[in-house]
A and B are shown apart, each in its own frame.
Chain A
Amino acid sequence: MREDRSADDERMSRDLLTATDPLPDIGALVGRAVDGGRRRLRRRRLTVAAGGTSLTVVAALLVLSPPDLGDMASTDDVRLTAPSELGVRSVVEARQQAALLTEPFNEALETALPGWPAAEGDYSRSADGPYTGWVFTSTNTEAPVTELTVRVEGPAAGTAATRFCVPAESTPSMPCTQRTLPDGTELHSGLTQLSITDEHGDVVTSTPPFARANLPDGRTVLATVSIGEPGAVSADSVALPAGSPLTTAALEELVTAPQLAQMPLP
């Protein structure tokens, strides 16, 4: 630390302290950061593994995968219509909008997954900063802890090109389906084989369901499931219990819910 501070230095320090008042709610900020960090940790631990071989293909769950683009609509079907946009300009505004949109999301959630815990909404941003959509997270704290994450995002997020299914020919035990609905929605769903690394470096496998709808207006609605508490991962803790309502069909219903199709984007 400096020892030779002049009066001018002291004055500049005071000026900057004054200029940077008031501080935000530090407790809330740290709470959000911990929640966000836990979500990042879950995603980081979810790695796609090619089953049945010694070769493990590790890929981040949300990495763009050009080959999967072939699963999407043909060039003729490319929709250029821009989704409706709210024109969100600030973090505060984004959070307010996310909170407002949580209500219609929870209506859709209750329809698709009756009795499932209500979700909390937040905004999503690209690495470059623009707001790209909304993220709704619902956590069932009963063992095994299960987190359902639904992202409603515009084309800029790149979610439509995210790869989830390991090709069926290499992993026939992991069915993934793709079909086009009458309204033009491309619906992808199935199970994702995930290798989750615990803090000791041990790997356990999980096969949670997912569903993704690439809507005609260019938005993507993606539902993913994470099973197991970070830091407490075991083979038993990353499997859905028998009779879990988190089925592929339920997620398909959720991602195609009209509330999400009509949800304005940031």
Chain B
Amino acid sequence: MSREDFSEWAHAASPRLCRIARVLTVDADAAEDLVQDVLEKMYVRWHRIEEPDAYARRALTNAVTSRWRRQGRRQETSWEAREDAGASHPPVYPHAGTEERIDLLGDLARLPPRQRAVLALRYLDDRSEQEVADLLDISPGTVKSQTSKALARLRHPLGASLDLSDITGRSGPAGVRGAEK
């Protein structure tokens, strides 16, 4: 593939990559910076990259999760560890009908990067568990469990006791989506 192909691919792929990076970093600026960094590296290696979509997703998630590892897992909030992570965006109320106002980005910031990666790939990128497992180099079972844990934490962002049926339409732990697949 030529570098002209790169520009064409990058223009088409970047909107989705930006959304994924946004979930991974929970910060608009950091997400843009991360995507740019990944694209720069891909430009350099373009002629050796056979599956650019998969490569880009691996690069995004690796950048975030490896950074997290370097930090000795002292924090699990965000790539940039910004105090205002998620604060610059309007609240999102994903579950109409409940009185719980959930700022989704703020809640995502409380998840470990790996769980954010699983959610981003599963729900933003519409990837199957197997595909997510392949991209993150983990087992499908881990994808399932990480999805389950992430959703559970999103439903109980502050450890409050919520009625899961408000969110899932079901009651109790069995309603966790990831556990069913």
Q: How far is the CB of A8 from chain B (nearest CB, A)?
A: 6
B169: contacting residue among A8, A20, A41, CB under 8 A: A8
Given A19-B92, A34-B3, A128-B67, output 17 extra A-B contacts at Cβ < 8 Å.
A2-B128, A7-B169, A8-B168, A13-B123, A15-B104, A18-B92, A18-B94, A19-B23, A19-B104, A20-B124, A24-B32, A29-B32, A32-B36, A34-B10, A36-B36, A40-B40, A40-B41
B18 is an interface residue with CB less than 8 A from chain A: yes
Q: Which of B3-18 contact A (CB under 8 A)?
A: 3, 6-7, 10-11, 14-15, 18
For the complex, would chain A's binding face be called helix, strand, loop or mixed by DSSP majority?
helix
Given contacts A12-B123, A15-B92, A32-B36, contact A41 B15 (CB under 8 A): no
Query: Using Cβ atoms and an 8 Å threshold, which residues of chain B touch A17?
Result: 19, 124
A129 touches B67 (CB 8 A): yes
Query: Using Cβ atoms and an 8 Å threshold, which residues of chain A touch B137?
Result: none
For the complex, would chain B's binding face be called helix, strand, loop or mixed by DSSP majority?
helix
B40 touches A37 (CB 8 A): yes
Q: Mark A197-225, 1 if CB is under 8 A from B, else 0.
A: 00100000000000000000000000000
Point out residues on A near B: beta carbons under 8 Å.
Answer: 1-2, 4-9, 11-20, 23-24, 26-27, 29-30, 32-34, 36-38, 40-41, 44, 89-92, 125, 128-129, 199, 231
Given contacts A16-B23, A231-B3, contact A33 B18 (CB under 8 A): no
Q: Which of B66-88 contact A (CB under 8 A)?
A: 67, 70, 80, 82
Given contacts A7-B169, A9-B177, A41-B44, contact A1 B128 (CB under 8 A): yes
Supply 15 A–B pairs (Cβ within 8 Å), ascending by A: A4-B181, A9-B177, A12-B123, A16-B120, A16-B123, A19-B22, A20-B23, A24-B28, A26-B14, A30-B7, A33-B43, A36-B39, A37-B41, A91-B30, A128-B70
A2 touches B23 (CB 8 A): no
B36 touches A29 (CB 8 A): yes
4 closest cross-chain pairs (CB), A and B: A37-B43, A33-B39, A15-B94, A36-B40
The complex places the Cα of A221 from the Cα of B89 at a distance, in Å, of 38
Query: Using Cβ atoms and an 8 Å threshold, which residues of chain B touch A12?
Result: 94, 119, 123, 151, 177
